[in-house]
Amino acid sequence: MKRIAAAILLCLCADGPAQALNCQSPANTVEMDRCAGRDFQAADAKLNALYRSMMSRYDAANQTTLKAAEKSWISYRDAECMFETNGTAGGTINSTMFTQCRTAKTNARIRELNAQLHCADGDLSCNAPSD
């Protein structure tokens, strides 16, 4: 019993945050998943910062529609990634593929929202905040 507890503790420590993570050349699917998670967290943080910036620059009516759009977009992103990665469902690579999909879609959303913020004067195809 002591050996099992020691083995579990060793595994937990080896996979802890102190271990260096080489995302340029991950050694296994666990590392691939951790790298994908790290990339998604960075993209999600960037999107959240952009969203907060936009909310502070728009009036109440636009804040309401932006909030609704973001909620719908998150639901779409997650459902679409579930669909796109369904071919790997049940496999060890599925969570990595799902997270990579979410990262790609989040980065695309960042580009879309930045386009709204930085459109040219008089461009009626976007909703730039009035500063």
Q: Give the global pTM.
A: 0.81
Query: Is residue 6 over pLDDT 50?
Result: no
- Of 77 and 26, which is predicted with more confidence? 77
**Domain boundaries defined on the chain:** 30-117
What letter would DSSP give residue 86? G
Rounded CA-CA distance 67/100 in Å is 24
pLDDT tens figures, 23-64: 888 889 899 999 999 999 999 999 999 999 999 999 999 999
Query: Is residue 16 over pLDDT 60?
Result: no
Q: Containing H/E element for 10?
A: helix 2-14
Assigned architecture for domain 30-117: Up-down Bundle (1.20)
Number of helices (H), then strands (E), in the chain: 4, 0
Residue 125's pLDDT is what? 87
Mean pLDDT of all residues in 10-14: 45
Residue recorded with tokens 């060890």: 92
